[in-house]
Structure 1
Amino acid sequence: MTRSMTAFANCSDEQDWGTCVWEIRSVNHRYLDIQIKLPEELRSIENNIRNRFASHVKRGKLECVLRCKPSQNQQTEICVNEDYASAIIRACTSISKTLHQPSEMNAIEVLKWPGVVEASQVDFTQLARGALNLFDSALESLCETRQSEGVRLQQMLEERLLAMRQIVKGERQRRPQIVQQTRDKLIKKLEALNASYDKDRFEQEMVYLAQKMDVDEELDRLESHFTEIEDIFKRDEPVGRRLDFIMQEFNREANTLGAKSTDIETTQASVELKVLVEQMREQVQNIE
Structure 2
Amino acid sequence: MIASMTGFANVTRPIAGGNVGGTISFEIKSVNSRFLDLSFRFPDELRTLEMPLRELLGKELIRGKVECRAGWALKASDAAETLDTDRLQRLLKLAQEVQDFSADSGSLNTADILRWPGVVQSAELDWTALLPEFHIMAAEAIKELKIVRDREGARLAELIKTRTAAMRTLVAHAEPLIPTAQRAFADKARAKLIEVMGSAEDERIRQELTLYAVRTDVAEELGRLKVHLDEVDRVVSTRGQAGKRLDFLMQELNREANTLGSKSVSTEISGIAMELKLLVEQIREQVQ
Q: TM-score scaled to structure 2, two decimals?
A: 0.82
- Whether 1:273 aligns to 2:276 is yes
Q: Using the alignment, how far apart are the partners of 2:36 and 2:206 within structure 1?
A: 60
Task: Specify the alignment match of 2:208 in structure 1.
Answer: 205
Q: Using the alignment, how far apart are the partners of 1:120 and 1:190 within structure 2?
A: 98
Q: Which amino acid aligns with 2:10?
A: N
| Structure 2 counterpart SS, 1:62 | strand
Deviations, residues 51-94 of structure 1 (Å, cap 9, x unaligned): 33332222222233223145757982637382x65555454444
Q: Using the alignment, how far apart are the partners of 1:21 and 1:146 within structure 2?
A: 20
For 2:59, which of 46, 55, 61 is the aligned residue? 55
Q: Which amino acid aligns with 1:14?
A: P
More deviation in 7-16 or 244-253? Answer: 7-16
| Shift in alpha-carbon separation, 1:100–1:169, aligned structure 2, 3 A | closer
More deviation in 8-17 or 153-162? Answer: 8-17
Task: Specify the alignment match of 1:43 in structure 2.
Answer: 47
8 Å CA contact 1:81, 1:117 repeated in 2: no
Query: What are the equivalent positions in structure 2 for 1:104-253 lying under 5 Å apart?
Result: 104-105=107-108, 109-110=112-113, 112-117=115-120, 120=123, 122-189=125-192, 195-253=198-256
| Structure 1 counterpart SS, 2:238 | coil
Q: Which amino acid aligns with 1:3?
A: A
Q: CA deviation at 1:239?
A: 1.2
Give the structure, 1 or 2, with the largest relative contact order (CA under 8 Å, sep 6 or more).
1
Task: Specify the alignment match of 2:34 in structure 1.
Answer: 30
Deviations, residues 228-249 of structure 1 (Å, cap 9, x unaligned): 2233224322212321222122
- CA RMSD between the two structures: 3.0
Q: TM-score scaled to structure 1, two decimals?
A: 0.82
| Structure 1 counterpart SS, 2:212 | helix
| Structure 2 counterpart SS, 1:64 | strand
Q: Which amino acid aligns with 1:16?
A: A
Structure 2: any 5+ residue segments left out of the alignment? none
Q: Using the alignment, how far apart are the partners of 2:64 and 2:257 within structure 1?
A: 30
Q: Which amino acid aligns with 1:143?
A: K
Q: Using the alignment, how far apart are the partners of 2:170 and 2:283 within structure 1?
A: 16
- Percent identity between the aligned chains? 36
Q: CA deviation at 1:119?
A: 5.5
| Shift in alpha-carbon separation, 1:214–1:252, aligned structure 2, 3 A | same
Q: CA deviation at 1:132?
A: 2.6
Q: CA deviation at 1:267?
A: 0.8
8 Å CA contact 2:260, 2:273 repeated in 1: yes
Q: Using the alignment, how far apart are the partners of 1:264 and 1:103 within structure 2?
A: 103
| Shift in alpha-carbon separation, 1:267–1:105, aligned structure 2, 3 A | closer
8 Å CA contact 2:190, 2:205 repeated in 1: no
Task: Specify the alignment match of 2:265 in structure 1.
Answer: 262
8 Å CA contact 1:24, 1:65 repeated in 2: yes
Q: Using the alignment, how far apart are the partners of 1:121 and 1:16 within structure 2?
A: 11
